Amino acid sequence: MVNQFQKVHGTTKRARYKSSFLKENFLDENLLKTELESLAGVTSVRINKKANSIVFNFEDSSVCAKIENKLSSLTPEVLLTKSKETACVSCVSSENPSFRRTAIASSALIAERFMPNDFLKFSVTAGASHPILLDGVKELFKEGLTSRVLESAAVGISIYRKDYLAANSTSAMLELGEYIEETTVHKSDDLLKELSKPNVEEAWVEREIEGKTTEILIKSKDIKIGDIVVVGVGNTIPVDGHIIDGNASVNQVSMTGEAEPIMKIRGDRVISGTIIEDGRLRIWAEYVGADTATQRIKHYIESSLNEKSSVQLKATKLADKLVPVTLGLAGTSYILTRDFERTASILQADYSCALKLATPVAFKATISKAGHNGIMIKGAKSIEALASADTFVFDKTGTLTQGELEVISVESFDDEWTSDDLLNLTASAEEHYFHPVAEAVVKAAKEKGFIHMHHEEVEFIVAHGVKTEVDNKLVIIGSRHFLEDDEKIDFSKHKKKIEKCLESGKTLLYISFDGKLLGTIALSDNLRENSKESIKRLRELGVKNIVMLTGDTKEKAEQIAKELDIDEIRAELLPTQKAKIVKELMDEGKKVAFVGDGINDAPALISAHVGISMSRGADIAKATADVSLLKDDIFAVVEAKELANKTMKLINNNFNATVGINSAILAGATFGLFSPVVTAMLHNGTTIGLLLNSIKGVKV
């Protein structure tokens, strides 16, 4: 994708550009900001994604040439490569969280008890504690009063008082807590690291060489949209696309969490990163390079792992506010009692550790666990919004229904044409067209022994249908509007039959031959088997209102609503009306989750408090959603809601426990009930316990 940009305003030290790059919803603006700020001479960059604008501040106007050169060279691949390099650096630093400092502090705690004199005890304790002391001093000058400063002060005072047991106990507990946090973050980022691995470097594609179709091996980065990619047993699929020939057993566990391989046949969609276990496929490449599912999801997760929710920000803000309180109590206690031991005890009883660590760890653990189960959650804010959602709005097709049309009847209006003839004619024209209606017709024809009818070149008219010629006579296949209004085909003789079919809830495909309406093919999109169970479970999870949106007739919509126990329906809708309805519900004070899968669902997915896209949905729907499902199962919506509810309950319980337990510890230390050693054990033990609770508390 080429970045189109335009300079709209500029001074000697400032310029504003419009950039088409910012229309790509899946791109992380922070990553783009970092890349642009790396330019020599640029002092700051501000990005307004809604306005598609970038504001640069620089040293002098000569920098504009560098800026424009950089903007012209930007592509998704460039940013994703930078993202990959950054991820790899972080992977190296946290690849194996080091237990070294914890081991040293623990060894000092034991060794100090056997030292014969104070000098040796001081040397061992100071040597083991110096990383904490140095970190505290650095943070004091860089960040001001923080929990790390208090911890450092507590250790320093204990060493000054020659209470080496307290100093070493505190150091050992702090280092153990730090190690557990690093280990947790390392584990929660496993999915990102897995997706950051190099992609398939080479792939076999078909090329025309000297009039013959030949398979050649090329670099994956050179694959273009429309190429035919050939993938065999044991190979990883390098593109997103449709199968045009062959069948295979595909292992999708890395992308969807499905343990069992899935059989894929002609017309099915396959995604990059999945592996063929048995069979061979010819795939029409629809998305390549940075546009493939693997790369978009990788970037999706990278952005989500660093996002903070309002609960997390609240915990951090409260923790920062309580640091001066703890320090003030310690100072007041020393002034009144001149007791350094009591002062050291108070400094140990800090709220910050548990408040700041447990919440993000819980969010990260949930995001990672959900990801491995085929549910991609875009950050802590999405979890929070999903947990509070009390109204779920479903776009019917592809969510509550299977999204796969099935031919249920074929009716010919001409005695010379049997229903099988009509089906064969339609399938012959539609067989190279990747559309749900076309695929359903071809599938039905094959089941009845498809006999191909020779036809001329097929013309595809988007959102209408197809045209071709058979025996020099025009064949038109498509919607009623296309045939009756655009092509002026007479429907009057068969209106009663057509209306009867429509009243029964069938979707009709119309076929004309030589200027006459030849017949209809009735199709149906069946409800998913677990749609009713999913809606029932959502109610049990606190959802008060279920709404269904559909373009179907009101009668058909009411039948489905009754069967699924849906509270409210909006029928006969235009695609553009979905977002408006979502906003209306939000204006009524409802917390809205929208579930959809189509291109026209993107505005509603963005408008809702939380948008959920189905696995087989359009790429734009996945890019704009807060939660993207990688498995084709409506119950995954329930799993996502349940995960969000459990996570927020866990965080609230941790929050209350932190405030309650640490307040009790602080009160005990203030009144001299706890020694520094006891306070350190209680405080740090609480922090470690809450961390462990955050790690294991939410189960998929």
Cβ(473)–Cβ(514) below 8 Å? yes
Q: Are strands 592-596 and 610-613 parallel, antiparallel or unpaired?
A: parallel
* CA distances from residue 133 to 148, 328, 354, 388, 676 in whole angstroms, order as listed: 9, 20, 20, 42, 17
Classify residue 659 as exposed, middle or buried by CB count within 10 Å of its CB (0-12, 13-18, 19+): middle
CATH class belonging to 402-526: alpha beta
Return d(Cα 280, Cα 278) in angstroms, integer. 7
% of the chain with per-residue pLDDT over 90? 26
Q: What is the pLDDT of residue 306?
A: 53
Please report, as a single letter, which amino acid is at residue 379.
G
- Burial track 22-56 (b if 16+ CB lie within 10 A, e otherwise): bebebbbeebbeebbeeeeebeebebebeeebbeb
Looking at the predicted structure, is the pLDDT value of residue 620 above 60? no
Residue with the two structure tokens 């940009």: 5
Looking at the predicted structure, is the pLDDT value of residue 89 above 50? no
- Burial track 672-696 (b if 16+ CB lie within 10 A, e otherwise): eebbbbbbbbbbbebbbebbebbbe
Q: What is the pLDDT of residue 447?
A: 92
CATH architecture of the domain 5-74 equals: 2-Layer Sandwich (3.30)
Q: What is the pLDDT of residue 83?
A: 46
Residue with the two structure tokens 């050179």: 222
Looking at the predicted structure, is the pLDDT value of residue 418 above 70? yes
Tens digits of residue pLDDT in 504-556:
767 789 999 999 999 999 988 788 889 999 999 999 999 999 999 987 778 77
Residue range 55-69: average pLDDT? 87
202-235+240-287 — its CATH code? 2.70.150.10
Please give the model's pTM, rounded to 2 decimal places.
0.62
Q: Which residue has the higher pLDDT, 361 or 164?
A: 164
Q: Looking at the domain 374-401+528-639, which fold is it?
A: Rossmann fold (3.40.50)
DSSP code for 289: G
Highest mean pLDDT among 76-85, 193-202, 368-377: 368-377
Structure tokens at 165: 């047991």
CA angle 518, 519, 524 (to 5 degrees): 155
* CA distances from residue 163 to 148, 267, 501 in whole angstroms, order as listed: 20, 74, 88
% of the chain with per-residue pLDDT over 70? 82
Q: What is the pLDDT of residue 343?
A: 83
CA angle 36, 38, 41 (to 5 degrees): 95
Q: Which residue has the higher pLDDT, 229 or 184?
A: 229
Return d(Cα 625, Cα 25) in angstroms, integer. 10
Concatenate the DSSP letters of all residues of 668-681 into one string.
HHHTT-S-HHHHHH
Concatenate the DSSP letters of all residues of 551-565 into one string.
SS-HHHHHHHHHHHT
Return d(Cα 387, Cα 383) in angstroms, integer. 6
Please report, as a single letter, which amino acid is at residue 527.
L
Return d(Cα 512, Cα 425) in angstroms, integer. 11
CA angle 601, 603, 604 (to 5 degrees): 65
Highest mean pLDDT among 123-137, 453-467, 654-668: 123-137
Looking at the predicted structure, is the pLDDT value of residue 91 above 80? no
Looking at the predicted structure, is the pLDDT value of residue 601 above 80? no
Q: Which residues contact 530 (CB under 8 A, 6 or more apart)?
A: 633, 634, 635
What are the domain boundaries of the chain? Answer: 5-74, 202-235+240-287, 374-401+528-639, 402-526
HSE-CB at 267 with a 13 A cutoff on CA atoms is 17
Instruction: Establish whether 28 is a catalytic residue.
Output: no
Cβ(512)–Cβ(475) below 8 Å? yes
Return d(Cα 452, Cα 32) in angstroms, integer. 52
| Cβ-defined contacts of 457-460 (< 8 Å, 24+) | 458/429, 458/432, 458/433, 460/433
Residue 270 pLDDT level (bands cut at 50, 70, 90): confident
Report CA 470 to chain centroid distance, whole Å: 48
Structure tokens at 118: 């104070």
Highest mean pLDDT among 165-179, 214-228, 611-625: 214-228
Return d(Cα 383, Cα 369) in angstroms, integer. 13
Return d(Cα 180, Cα 97) in angstroms, integer. 9
Q: Which residues contact 416 (CB under 8 A, 6 or more apart)?
A: none
CA angle 372, 377, 380 (to 5 degrees): 120
**214: three-class secondary structure by DSSP:** strand
Q: Which residue has the higher pLDDT, 10 or 516?
A: 516
User: Which of 240, 395, 619, 632 is flagged as catalytic?
Assistant: 395
Q: What is the pLDDT of residue 467?
A: 94
